[in-house]
Structure 1
Amino acid sequence: MATTNDPVTTTPRLGRYTIDPNRSSITFRSRHFVGLLPVKGTFAIRSGTIDVAEPLADSNLRVEVDAASFHTGNDQRDAHVRSATFLDTGRHPLITFVSDGVNTTTVSGTLTVRDVSRPVSLAIAGSEVAAETFTVRATTRVDRHDFGVTASRLMAGRHVDLTLDVTCVHR
């Protein structure tokens, strides 16, 4: 994020950045119990890199998310979602996103959950650029059925709204 001493620009400087997991987060919202009750939670980013190129369309990114980091504050629900019924984190410990297109408003790419890969588009909701870092907020909606996570059709919400707040540090 920009500080009073850092010049703010509209795009980060060219080069490779690493995602700082300690200053980044993925939050989600969904509904359960026949869509009546909201569920909020988080995932932890394990690692990631972003290569900022000129033109911006040549940029790319890769993010790895720790599937077992699923957390809603309800231990019983969290354990059930981590089980083979939903995320099967024992067999599929990572959720990955690899970009195939970047512009100033959207990052498109492939999301892989449980070894099922599908195209996903992230809408960039905001960014702050400083000399050695940049922070981006992006959002998307994922249909869990697209990834083979189809258990509890009436109890668990089908769609998951994700918000990513990612801080990247120039290497």
Structure 2
Amino acid sequence: METQVKTKWNIDTAHSEISFKVKHMMISTVTGHFEDFNATVETESENFVDADFSFTAKTGSINTKNKDRDAHLKSDDFFNAEKFPEMTFKSKSYDGSTLTGDLTIRDVTKEIELNVDFNGIAVDPYGQTKAGFEATGSINRKNFNLTWSAVTEAGSIVVSDTVKLIIDLQFIKA
């Protein structure tokens, strides 16, 4: 029986972004992203079905374009970046449209599902082979011990429990 050789793909950070959106006071949306992250894919197929995806982000690299808010997110109310410097994702399965895997934030690991669009493979002007993906999903932040909450005088929740994930990834064939 012939053994398939796995192809490794490394993240192209210049053309990738790990971002999120969360409702603020239920009337507006705050967007943020992680500045320091890494990801790899290992696959045996051109369509990446059953590929192994792995990802890490430095929680201290969170950026919402507001220093005070970023400091709060790095505190123990949310990520506790000092004690838990990384969040990780390790895939369990990918069928071409749904990526299932374990997301670890703080000391909590939960299985999540992401909807994935595989945008194809192309060769850039420098001869590098690249593959592009867009992934979306949502998590309940409280499931990961990101439990800080407050309510305004009018009774509005300050930060929604639901966090939308928007992940744009471009990989370079190793």
How many percent identity over aligned positions?
27
Contact 1:26–1:45 (CA under 8 A) maintained in structure 2: no
Aligned equivalents of 2:18, 2:11: Cα separation in 1: 12
Aligned pair 1:133/2:152, yes or no? no
Deviation at 1:45, TM superposition (A): 4.8
Alignment equivalent of 1:168, drawn from 165, 168, 171? 171
Give the secondary-structure state (helix, strand or coil) at the position aligned to 2:14.
helix
Q: Which of 148, 156, 159 in structure 2 is aligned with 1:151?
A: 148
String of CA shifts for 1:118-165, please: whole Å, max 9, x gaps: 011110134131141101011010110110111115321111101111
Q: Provide the rounded CA distance (Å) in 2 between the counterparts of 1:62 and 1:145.
A: 23
Are 1:48 and 2:39 counterparts? yes
Moved over 3 A (4+): 54-58
Partner residue of 1:63? 55
Structure 1 residue 21 and structure 2 residue 13: aligned? yes
Calculate the TM-score normalised by the size of structure 2: 0.84
1:87 is paired with a residue of what secondary structure?
Answer: coil
| Structure 1 pair 53–45 and aligned structure 2 pair: CA distance change class (3 A) | farther
Q: Does 1:142 align with 2:134?
A: no
Contact 2:35 2:63 (8 Å CA) reproduced: no
Instruction: Output the amino acid matched with 2:40.
Output: T
The answer as to 2:101 corresponding to 1:98 is no
What are the ranges of 5 or more consecutive residues in structure 2 without an aligned counterpart? 1-5, 124-128, 151-156
Which entry has the higher C-alpha Rg, 1 or 2? 2
Q: State the superposition RMSD in angstroms.
A: 1.9
Gaps of 5+ in 1: 1-13
* 8 Å Cα contact 1:21-1:44 kept in structure 2: no
Deviation at 1:56, TM superposition (A): 4.7
CA contact (8 A) 2:96 2:118 kept: no
Rounded to whole Å, the distance in 2 between the matches of 1:56 and 1:129 is: 10
